[in-house]
Structure formats: C-alpha cells, structure tokens
Structure 1
Amino acid sequence: MNTRITLTAQGGAEALAGAFARTREFIAKCEAQFTRFQATSELSALNRAAGAWFNASPEMFELLCEAAALSQETCGLFNPAILGALENAGYDASMELVRAHTVGPRVPLAKTYAENFAELAFHDATRAVWLPPHTRIDLGGIAKGWIAERAARLLVQDTDVCAVNAGGDLFAIGVPRDTDAWEIEIEDPNDAAKTIALLRVPQGAVATSSITKRKWKQGAREQHHLIDPRTGLPAATDWLSVTVLAPHAAIAEVYAKALLIAGSSDAGFVAGAREDIEWLAVKRDGTLWGSERVKGDFYGTK
C-alpha cells in the first residue's frame, strides 16, 4: 500500500517484543490483501471478478461493508470506485515510481463507473461480495485506518498503552505515562518541516487527508491523489488538508477525505452527518478552520 506504519507502545520489554512481532505480521497480511499494486492481492482479484460474486476473506468482507456504509453516509463523497480515474490522472503505480518518470496527459474517461459503487451487494452467510460490472475500487485510504485500529487493538493485548500510525491515520489506546492525552502534531501542508497545530487527544482516532502529500506532474498539470467522485478528476478544493478526530479510524479517514473534497462551502453539511467527529482544516493561505468542539483540544502552534 506504499505506506509507512509506526507502532508506539509502553510496557515490559519481553511483552513488547512479542506484541510488536505479532502486530507486524498482521499488518503485512492486511497490506498484501488490500493493495492495488500487486496482481496477486485479494483486492486485485476482486476487481477482476467485477460482475460476478466473489468469496471474500473475513477482513475484506468487513472492510467493504464499512466502506459501503460510509460511502452512503457521505452521499458518495467517499467512494472507493475511483480506481480508473486515479490511474487516468497518472497514479497507476506506487508513488515513488510515478514521481520517477514523466506522466503524459491522457484522454479523459468517458465514464468512471464511480456511481456503480452504490450497487455493491453482500451475502452475509457466505461472505460473498458482488461488485458491479466494470467497477474497480481502491481501498488504500480506508484500509489504512482499518489496519491502524485493528493493529492497535492487537498490540494493546500485551502492552499498557499503544498507538499505531498508518500514513497519517492514527489510532491510540490509553495515554502515555505522566500525561492525560496524546499530543498530535498537524503538519503544515505548505511546509512539511513545520507543525501548524497541536491537538491534545485522550485516545481514539485521528486522520489527516491532504492534497499536497501525494502529488505529481502529468504533462504540464500538477495532479494529486484525492479524486472527486462527482467529476472523476483530482478534487478542486479551497483546503489543503483536513484532520478529523473520531471514535474509529475508518470514520476519521473517510470524513477527512470527504470534508477535504467538500471544501469550505459544504463542510458543515458533510460534518453534520455525525455528532461524534471533530475536524480541523487548513486553507491555502494557512488559516485554520475547525468545528466548535475541536477548539477544546486545540493546543497551539509551533
């Protein structure tokens, strides 16, 4: 999935060694299942099976059920069925490979099939999934959050306190000794070497989505990885990044993405779907926008 995953924990040395090993094994298994960059992955097999019933693993079935529910909840602003559009924008390999060569302009897609994701069907008794014909999905974002939370819940079985950060999607359980919260640095999207804000988070999920982290040149045009399902193109938004606090990592990831696509004009409508999230957005000029509740967790800037 081309993502760096960091494990943090407090506990006894012997217990930590075993816990880290088991958690790394779990993460490696999940990455092999959910990546779109390997033809042998379960996700690639699912995409090839579009139009027919597919027998999914327990992990894939659970993740797809959650993705379908959150797509409906966000009125389709979160939509995994944008793989064709993502590839057409030039993101057809891992990011280091995309940046290593010039991506040429491509003919706009006549149809993205993103709207087909609403027709995704499930058979609970057999864990079978039906992906509509011609539909291909990318689970990279929501899978990061899903993995982070489940890895943390696995890790904490043998530790006192832990957090797992999967490329900006973090899930924390408990708090470090001698403190009452985790201090989460929010990166300045205009300068990765700077921190634009600090959030104090007792535990739970934090996810950041940004249009400045994964970007590349396609001909003369600068592209980014955040596809607007309504247009099939990289989102035209007045925000550079959005950070969301939520009880679960997949929810935080999905709403960070949906709010970033929505931008300032529709953020209130999108965030209004849930009462259990807080959010902080960074505009292009560096000013901060946020929900009322996030102000209580806002710690300051560097």
Structure 2
Amino acid sequence: MPLIEALPVGAGTAQWNVWGTVARVVVTDPALVPDAEGLVRDELAAVDGACSRFRDDAELRRACTGGPVTVSPLLAELVAAALTAARDTGGDVDPTVGGALCGLGYDRDFAVLTGCEVAPAVRIFTAPDWRSVRLRGRQLTVPAGVLLDLGATAKAVAADRAAARVAAHLGTGVLVALGGDIATAGPGPAGGWRVLVQDRPGDPACTVRLPAGAALATSSTASRTWGRPGELLHHIIDPRTGRPAARVWRTVSVAAFSCLRANTLSTAAVVRGHDAPALLGGAPSRLVTPGLDVLRLGGWPA
C-alpha cells in the first residue's frame, strides 16, 4: 500500500489502526497534529456509523429494508458516491455485492476475520444489479434481500472528507492515508507530498510526488485475503460472478484529484483484468502483475 516515504520538513504525523488497516494523518504544521487527528477520528467514526457492514446499529443496516427510507445527508452522500462509481465503470464497482462477500466468509471486520484459522464454507452469490438501488435526494430504496457494501468507495470518500475537513478547520496542508487510499488538501509541502508506492516488502517500489489537492488509491488482490490452503480469497468482487476478480493484477495504483475517483478506477481495473488499460485511459496508473512485472500508464514515473 502507499506509504509516506519521508515527512516534509517541519511536518507532524499521527497514526492508529482502524477498519483493519492503518490511518495516518500528516500536517505541514506539527503543532496541529492533535487537532487534526481528532477531526479525522471524528470523520471516520461518522462514516463507520453510517455505513459499516459489520455493525448492527449502522444506519445502512436499517436502510436495507426493501422500502423507501429517509437517510442522513452523510449516508446519502456515501450511497451516491457508490452508485456514481458503478455507473462510471459500467457496473465493475458495484455496491450490491454485500451478499456475495458474506457468502464468501467476509462477514465481519477484517481484523477479526484474519484471526480465524478456517474460513467459512464458500457459497456463491450472484450480485444483484446496482441499478435496482434508488436514491432520490435523501430517500433510499434498497430491494428486499439486497445487502449493500460500500467498502469499495466509502473509505476513499472518508479520506477525501477528512482531508478537506482538516484543511478547512485548521488552515494547514494535510495528507490523510487510510490504507491504500490517500487524499490531500490545503497547501502542500515544497515539491509535493512524497509517497512510496509498494504493496508488500519485496514488491516493486516507486516513489511519486503528489501535488497539493491530489489523491492516490491502490487496490490489491494480495493484501486483504482470507480462506484456506488452495482456497485463498480476496475482497475485490467481480459483480458478474459474485466471486473474487481474477488475479490478472496484483495491485493497481491510480492518481487523480479525488481519492474517490482514484479508487473507483483502481478497483474497476482489477475487476476489468486484461482490459484495464483501456479503462484507465490517460489516468496516471501503475499496474503490477502476480509475477511482479510493472506496467505504467498515463505518465506514471518510472
């Protein structure tokens, strides 16, 4: 996953575990680290309460009832982002794969799931079409029996929102990293934010510089895995099959001017497989094969 290779001179940082990954906030003014961390934690807590698939009290759980429900502005934003990602990718990034993920055993927080010695028996689900979900303003209708999973986009939206909130409230340059999702806001350090892109130790590495306001997302078929020997699964679902996408790419990294857009493209590229380059077009992208060969597109630096 992307990491901050070196802190800008005079910057400060805080990090903690959340959602089965690591949250990190970096601000150009180190005196503002405690306030920035508090703002980011508050934002992540709000997103978790709105759309966690693993909390019985999450608002999204109550909204998946089969009838129209008036939801909070935050949940409406998160669902709208997921539906936009689905539309922009021709359904490659589909929020209605929640049932498929549960059937594959991903039915609890990933930090808990990885502690299981044996994964539940695999059941195959065909994901319903994202177009069956209706959102009109704040009125959400999810067909009966459909379980939404916003994981493919909500973490990216959370990174965008958290970075924007810190910059607006504190007037500082900020980088927020949630695992493979990075968003920046406010004035950046001289020369941009220096980010090391590497999924795991030993994998090919590349350092990029993100200008202020830019974002980066990395989707991986190697990082969030579970199962048994000979049956290793990952979390990026091909909606056409209800199964993990074929491992054509080990990781896909994309830069954009919102983390949501970068994550939409990186996730869809994993699902699209061999057709990913056509999907990505001119977006700065870095694709790594299971054999660790690297394909760079859209001006991604060598």
TM norm structure 2: 0.86
- Aligned with 1:248 (options 248, 251, 258): 258
CA contact (8 A) 1:11 1:159 kept: no
Query: Any idea what the Cα deviations from partners look like across 1:43-102, whole Å, max 9, x if unmatched?
Result: 22122x1x2001111011112112112201101000011111111111111223222221
Q: 1:148 aligns with which of 134, 139, 159?
A: 159
How far apart, CA to CA, are the structure 1 residues paired with 2:267 and 2:236? Answer: 8
What residue is the counterpart of 1:214 in the other structure? 224
Q: Which residue of the partner structure matches residue 14 of structure 2? A: none
Pairing partner for 1:55 from 59, 67, 70 = 70
- Percent sequence identity over aligned pairs: 26
**Which of 131, 140, 156 is 1:129 aligned to?**
140
User: C-alpha distance in 2, partners of 1:166/1:243?
Assistant: 14
Task: State the partner residue of 1:43.
Answer: 60
Contact 1:175 1:181 in 2 (8 A): no
Where do residues 103-122 of structure 1 align in structure 2 (5 Å cutoff)? 103-109=119-125, 111-113=126-128, 115=129, 117-122=130-135
1:267–1:107 distance in 2 versus 1, CA, 3 Å: closer
Asked if 1:88 is matched to 2:100, the reply is: no
Q: 1:72 aligns with which of 81, 87, 90?
A: 87
Asked if structure 2 preserves the Cα contact closer than 8 Å seen for 1:280 and 1:289, the reply is yes
Pair 1:169-2:185 in alignment: no
1:16 & 1:7 partners in 2: Cα distance? 8
Runs of 4+ in 1 over 4 A off after TM superposition: none
Distance in 2 separating the partners of 1:240 and 1:12: 36
Distance 1:53 1:4, change over 3 A: same
Distance 2:206 2:39 in 1: 33
Partner of 1:225: 235
Q: Secondary structure at the match of 2:82?
A: helix
Residue 289 of structure 2 is matched in structure 1 by 283
Count of residue pairs the alignment pairs up = 281
Equivalent residues of 2:247, 2:290 under 8 A apart: no
Counterpart CA distance in 1 for 2:30 and 2:119 is 49
Would the aligned equivalents of 1:37 and 1:94 in 2 still touch at CA under 8 Å? yes
Distance (Å, rounded) in 2 between the aligned partners of 1:11 and 1:220: 49
Which amino acid counterpart does residue 108 of structure 1 have in structure 2?
Answer: I
Bigger shift: 235-244 or 213-222? 213-222
- Cα pair 2:39 2:162 within 8 Å, conserved: no
Q: Paired residue for 1:268?
A: 277
Residues 19 and 99 (structure 1), Cα distance of their counterparts in 2 relative to 1, 3 Å cut: closer
C-alpha separation in 1, matches of 2:24 and 2:68: 36
Q: Does 1:26 align with 2:43?
A: yes
The Cα shift of 1:225 comes to 0.9
Please list every run of 5 or more consecutive structure 1 residues that lacks an aligned counterpart in the other structure. Answer: none
Tell me, in whole angstroms, the C-alpha distance in 1 between the residues paired with 2:286 and 2:140.
Answer: 35
